[in-house]
Structure 1
Amino acid sequence: MKLSLRALCATALLATTGFAQAEVAVIVNAGASAAPSQADVANIFLGKNKSLKGVDQKDWNPTKEKFYTSVTNKNEAQLKSYWSGLVFTGKGQPLPSVAGDAEVVAKVAAEADAIGYVDKAVVTDKVKVLFIVP
Protein backbone atom coordinates (compact mmCIF):
# COMPACT_ATOMS: atom_id res chain seq x y z
CA MET A 1 0.00 0.00 0.00
CA LYS A 2 2.79 2.42 0.94
CA LEU A 3 4.61 1.72 -2.30
CA SER A 4 1.54 2.35 -4.46
CA LEU A 5 0.80 5.58 -2.59
CA ARG A 6 4.38 6.77 -3.20
CA ALA A 7 4.11 5.84 -6.87
CA LEU A 8 0.82 7.73 -7.14
CA CYS A 9 2.34 10.82 -5.51
CA ALA A 10 5.40 10.66 -7.75
CA THR A 11 3.21 10.37 -10.84
CA ALA A 12 1.09 13.33 -9.74
CA LEU A 13 4.20 15.41 -9.11
CA LEU A 14 5.64 14.60 -12.54
CA ALA A 15 2.34 15.40 -14.22
CA THR A 16 2.05 18.80 -12.59
CA THR A 17 5.69 19.67 -13.31
CA GLY A 18 4.94 19.74 -17.03
CA PHE A 19 2.12 22.19 -16.46
CA ALA A 20 4.21 24.39 -14.18
CA GLN A 21 6.73 25.19 -16.89
CA ALA A 22 6.10 28.69 -18.12
CA GLU A 23 6.03 29.79 -21.71
CA VAL A 24 8.99 31.79 -23.00
CA ALA A 25 8.43 35.00 -24.95
CA VAL A 26 11.01 36.21 -27.45
CA ILE A 27 10.88 40.02 -27.26
CA VAL A 28 12.13 43.08 -29.12
CA ASN A 29 11.87 46.82 -28.49
CA ALA A 30 8.27 48.06 -28.84
CA GLY A 31 9.32 50.37 -31.69
CA ALA A 32 11.29 47.75 -33.60
CA SER A 33 10.32 47.30 -37.23
CA ALA A 34 12.36 44.12 -37.70
CA ALA A 35 10.56 40.84 -37.14
CA PRO A 36 13.14 38.08 -37.43
CA SER A 37 12.05 34.48 -37.93
CA GLN A 38 12.74 31.77 -35.37
CA ALA A 39 15.76 30.68 -37.47
CA ASP A 40 17.05 34.28 -37.46
CA VAL A 41 16.61 34.45 -33.69
CA ALA A 42 18.61 31.23 -33.28
CA ASN A 43 21.40 32.71 -35.40
CA ILE A 44 21.36 35.97 -33.40
CA PHE A 45 21.77 34.07 -30.12
CA LEU A 46 24.53 31.92 -31.63
CA GLY A 47 26.42 35.02 -32.79
CA LYS A 48 25.94 34.24 -36.49
CA ASN A 49 23.55 37.12 -37.22
CA LYS A 50 24.32 40.63 -36.00
CA SER A 51 21.12 42.34 -37.21
CA LEU A 52 19.93 42.70 -33.60
CA LYS A 53 21.78 42.71 -30.27
CA GLY A 54 20.93 39.59 -28.31
CA VAL A 55 20.45 40.01 -24.58
CA ASP A 56 21.14 36.73 -22.82
CA GLN A 57 20.36 35.63 -19.28
CA LYS A 58 23.40 35.11 -17.07
CA ASP A 59 22.53 31.93 -15.20
CA TRP A 60 21.17 28.69 -16.62
CA ASN A 61 17.55 28.75 -15.47
CA PRO A 62 14.31 27.14 -16.73
CA THR A 63 13.58 30.07 -19.06
CA LYS A 64 17.06 29.97 -20.60
CA GLU A 65 16.95 26.19 -20.91
CA LYS A 66 13.58 26.21 -22.66
CA PHE A 67 14.67 28.99 -25.02
CA TYR A 68 17.97 27.42 -26.06
CA THR A 69 16.70 23.85 -26.37
CA SER A 70 13.65 24.92 -28.37
CA VAL A 71 15.09 27.70 -30.55
CA THR A 72 18.75 26.73 -31.06
CA ASN A 73 18.50 22.99 -30.31
CA LYS A 74 21.38 23.27 -27.82
CA ASN A 75 21.46 22.28 -24.16
CA GLU A 76 23.72 23.87 -21.54
CA ALA A 77 26.76 21.68 -22.26
CA GLN A 78 26.42 22.09 -26.02
CA LEU A 79 26.08 25.86 -25.71
CA LYS A 80 29.16 26.15 -23.46
CA SER A 81 31.14 24.00 -25.88
CA TYR A 82 29.93 26.06 -28.85
CA TRP A 83 31.00 29.37 -27.30
CA SER A 84 34.28 27.93 -26.01
CA GLY A 85 35.18 26.93 -29.56
CA LEU A 86 34.37 30.38 -30.94
CA VAL A 87 36.27 32.19 -28.19
CA PHE A 88 39.31 29.88 -28.51
CA THR A 89 39.53 30.42 -32.27
CA GLY A 90 38.90 34.16 -31.97
CA LYS A 91 35.73 33.94 -34.06
CA GLY A 92 33.29 35.22 -31.48
CA GLN A 93 32.36 36.23 -27.97
CA PRO A 94 29.27 35.21 -25.98
CA LEU A 95 26.42 37.69 -25.93
CA PRO A 96 26.16 40.21 -23.11
CA SER A 97 24.05 38.82 -20.29
CA VAL A 98 21.93 40.22 -17.49
CA ALA A 99 20.70 38.75 -14.21
CA GLY A 100 17.13 37.77 -15.11
CA ASP A 101 13.80 38.42 -16.79
CA ALA A 102 13.20 41.92 -15.42
CA GLU A 103 16.65 43.06 -16.52
CA VAL A 104 16.12 41.60 -20.02
CA VAL A 105 12.82 43.48 -20.37
CA ALA A 106 14.45 46.72 -19.19
CA LYS A 107 17.44 46.39 -21.56
CA VAL A 108 15.29 45.44 -24.57
CA ALA A 109 12.88 48.30 -23.82
CA ALA A 110 15.81 50.76 -23.61
CA GLU A 111 17.66 49.68 -26.78
CA ALA A 112 15.96 49.91 -30.17
CA ASP A 113 18.01 47.08 -31.70
CA ALA A 114 17.89 44.62 -28.78
CA ILE A 115 16.25 41.19 -28.64
CA GLY A 116 15.80 38.90 -25.65
CA TYR A 117 13.76 36.11 -24.14
CA VAL A 118 11.81 36.07 -20.87
CA ASP A 119 9.10 34.20 -19.05
CA LYS A 120 5.87 35.23 -20.77
CA ALA A 121 4.40 36.35 -17.43
CA VAL A 122 6.83 39.30 -17.12
CA VAL A 123 6.23 40.83 -20.57
CA THR A 124 5.17 44.50 -20.43
CA ASP A 125 3.85 46.93 -23.02
CA LYS A 126 7.37 48.40 -23.27
CA VAL A 127 8.42 45.46 -25.48
CA LYS A 128 6.91 43.57 -28.40
CA VAL A 129 6.55 39.77 -28.46
CA LEU A 130 7.88 38.14 -31.64
CA PHE A 131 6.76 34.63 -30.76
CA ILE A 132 6.07 32.34 -27.82
CA VAL A 133 7.96 29.14 -27.11
CA PRO A 134 5.31 26.85 -25.57
Structure 2
Amino acid sequence: MKRIAQAALLALATGIAGLASAEVAVIVNPGAAKAPSQSEVANIFLGKDKSLTGIDQKDWNPTKEKFYSAVTSKNEAQLKSYWSGLVFTGKGQPLSSVADDAAVVAKVAGDASAIGYVDAAAVNDQVKVLFTLP
Protein backbone atom coordinates (compact mmCIF):
# COMPACT_ATOMS: atom_id res chain seq x y z
CA MET A 1 0.00 0.00 0.00
CA LYS A 2 2.86 2.37 0.87
CA ARG A 3 4.43 1.81 -2.56
CA ILE A 4 1.15 2.66 -4.29
CA ALA A 5 0.89 5.90 -2.31
CA GLN A 6 4.50 6.77 -3.16
CA ALA A 7 3.92 6.01 -6.84
CA ALA A 8 0.77 8.16 -6.86
CA LEU A 9 2.63 11.02 -5.19
CA LEU A 10 5.47 10.75 -7.70
CA ALA A 11 3.00 10.75 -10.60
CA LEU A 12 1.26 13.81 -9.19
CA ALA A 13 4.54 15.66 -8.69
CA THR A 14 5.65 14.80 -12.21
CA GLY A 15 2.34 16.00 -13.63
CA ILE A 16 2.54 19.28 -11.75
CA ALA A 17 6.12 19.82 -12.89
CA GLY A 18 4.99 19.15 -16.46
CA LEU A 19 2.31 21.80 -16.17
CA ALA A 20 4.80 24.33 -14.91
CA SER A 21 7.18 23.73 -17.80
CA ALA A 22 4.65 23.79 -20.64
CA GLU A 23 5.41 26.18 -23.49
CA VAL A 24 3.11 29.08 -24.26
CA ALA A 25 2.38 29.86 -27.91
CA VAL A 26 1.39 33.32 -29.11
CA ILE A 27 -1.03 32.77 -31.98
CA VAL A 28 -2.68 34.73 -34.78
CA ASN A 29 -5.09 33.94 -37.57
CA PRO A 30 -3.22 32.54 -40.60
CA GLY A 31 -4.74 35.36 -42.67
CA ALA A 32 -3.44 38.12 -40.39
CA ALA A 33 -1.91 40.93 -42.40
CA LYS A 34 0.62 41.76 -39.69
CA ALA A 35 2.97 39.60 -37.64
CA PRO A 36 3.86 41.72 -34.60
CA SER A 37 7.12 41.52 -32.69
CA GLN A 38 7.23 40.47 -29.05
CA SER A 39 7.33 44.13 -27.92
CA GLU A 40 4.32 44.93 -30.12
CA VAL A 41 2.51 41.94 -28.59
CA ALA A 42 3.16 43.42 -25.13
CA ASN A 43 1.65 46.72 -26.26
CA ILE A 44 -1.40 44.96 -27.71
CA PHE A 45 -2.05 43.10 -24.46
CA LEU A 46 -1.56 46.29 -22.44
CA GLY A 47 -4.08 48.15 -24.60
CA LYS A 48 -1.48 50.52 -26.07
CA ASP A 49 -1.58 49.11 -29.61
CA LYS A 50 -4.91 48.56 -31.35
CA SER A 51 -3.51 47.06 -34.57
CA LEU A 52 -4.74 43.60 -33.49
CA THR A 53 -7.42 42.51 -31.03
CA GLY A 54 -5.89 40.79 -28.03
CA ILE A 55 -7.86 37.83 -26.73
CA ASP A 56 -7.15 37.28 -23.07
CA GLN A 57 -7.87 34.25 -20.88
CA LYS A 58 -10.45 34.92 -18.17
CA ASP A 59 -8.91 33.15 -15.19
CA TRP A 60 -5.36 33.47 -13.93
CA ASN A 61 -3.68 30.17 -14.80
CA PRO A 62 -0.11 28.94 -15.48
CA THR A 63 -0.39 29.83 -19.19
CA LYS A 64 -1.56 33.37 -18.46
CA GLU A 65 1.07 33.75 -15.72
CA LYS A 66 3.89 32.68 -18.04
CA PHE A 67 2.64 34.87 -20.91
CA TYR A 68 2.25 38.09 -18.92
CA SER A 69 5.45 37.54 -16.95
CA ALA A 70 7.54 36.97 -20.10
CA VAL A 71 5.90 39.45 -22.47
CA THR A 72 4.84 42.36 -20.24
CA SER A 73 6.93 41.70 -17.10
CA LYS A 74 3.73 41.94 -15.02
CA ASN A 75 2.29 39.51 -12.49
CA GLU A 76 -1.40 39.17 -11.61
CA ALA A 77 -1.48 41.97 -9.02
CA GLN A 78 0.47 44.36 -11.25
CA LEU A 79 -1.79 43.65 -14.22
CA LYS A 80 -4.96 44.23 -12.17
CA SER A 81 -3.53 47.48 -10.85
CA TYR A 82 -2.52 48.57 -14.36
CA TRP A 83 -6.01 47.99 -15.79
CA SER A 84 -7.71 49.55 -12.75
CA GLY A 85 -5.72 52.74 -13.36
CA LEU A 86 -6.66 52.86 -17.04
CA VAL A 87 -10.33 52.21 -16.33
CA PHE A 88 -10.44 54.79 -13.51
CA THR A 89 -8.91 57.50 -15.69
CA GLY A 90 -11.04 56.59 -18.70
CA LYS A 91 -7.98 55.74 -20.78
CA GLY A 92 -8.78 52.10 -21.47
CA GLN A 93 -10.77 48.96 -20.89
CA PRO A 94 -9.41 45.46 -20.26
CA LEU A 95 -9.25 43.14 -23.25
CA SER A 96 -12.08 40.78 -24.01
CA SER A 97 -11.49 37.42 -22.40
CA VAL A 98 -12.56 33.84 -22.99
CA ALA A 99 -12.67 30.76 -20.79
CA ASP A 100 -9.69 28.66 -21.89
CA ASP A 101 -7.14 27.66 -24.54
CA ALA A 102 -9.76 26.07 -26.81
CA ALA A 103 -11.86 29.24 -26.75
CA VAL A 104 -8.80 31.39 -27.57
CA VAL A 105 -7.91 29.14 -30.52
CA ALA A 106 -11.51 29.27 -31.80
CA LYS A 107 -11.71 33.07 -31.45
CA VAL A 108 -8.35 33.66 -33.16
CA ALA A 109 -9.15 31.16 -35.93
CA GLY A 110 -12.38 33.03 -36.66
CA ASP A 111 -11.00 36.58 -36.66
CA ALA A 112 -8.14 37.75 -38.88
CA SER A 113 -7.47 40.69 -36.54
CA ALA A 114 -7.19 38.60 -33.35
CA ILE A 115 -4.13 37.54 -31.39
CA GLY A 116 -3.97 35.30 -28.35
CA TYR A 117 -1.83 33.02 -26.23
CA VAL A 118 -2.37 29.37 -25.36
CA ASP A 119 -0.56 26.35 -24.01
CA ALA A 120 1.46 25.17 -27.03
CA ALA A 121 -0.29 21.78 -26.86
CA ALA A 122 -3.58 23.50 -27.78
CA VAL A 123 -2.33 24.82 -31.14
CA ASN A 124 -3.92 23.38 -34.26
CA ASP A 125 -3.76 24.07 -37.99
CA GLN A 126 -6.45 26.79 -37.76
CA VAL A 127 -3.99 29.27 -36.22
CA LYS A 128 -0.40 30.41 -36.84
CA VAL A 129 2.23 30.49 -34.08
CA LEU A 130 4.17 33.77 -33.94
CA PHE A 131 6.56 32.62 -31.23
CA THR A 132 6.68 30.38 -28.18
CA LEU A 133 7.74 31.09 -24.64
CA PRO A 134 9.62 28.26 -22.91
TM-score range, shorter chain: 0.7 to 0.9
Residues matched between the structures, number: 123
Q: Secondary structure at the match of 1:132?
A: strand
Q: Which residue of 2 aligns with 1:5?
A: none
SS across alignment from 2:47: coil
Compared CA separation, residues 110 and 84, structure 1 to 2 (3 A): same
**What TM-score do the two structures reach when normalised by structure 1?**
0.87
* Aligned amino acid, residue 95 of structure 1: L
Within a 5 Å distance, the mapping from 1:1-134 to structure 2 comes to 13=13, 17=17, 20-134=20-134
Q: Which runs of 5+ in 1 are unaligned?
A: 1-8
**How far apart in 2 are the matches of 1:20 and 1:27?**
20
| Structure 2: segments with no counterpart, 5+ residues | 1-8
Aligned-pair CA distance for 1:17: 2.1
Deviations 1:43-77 (A, max 9, x none): 00000000000000000000000000000000000
For residues 33 and 85 of structure 1, the distance between their equivalents in structure 2, rounded to whole angstroms, comes to 32
- TM value normalised by structure 2: 0.87
The superposition leaves residues 6-38 of structure 1 with CA deviations (integer Å, 9 ceiling, x where unpaired) of xxx99xx59x72775210000000111311000
Amino-acid identity (%):
75
Alpha-carbon RMSD: 1.8
Cα deviation, 1:84-121, whole Å, max 9, x if unaligned, reads 00000000000000000000000000001000000000
Change (3 A) 1:110 1:18: closer
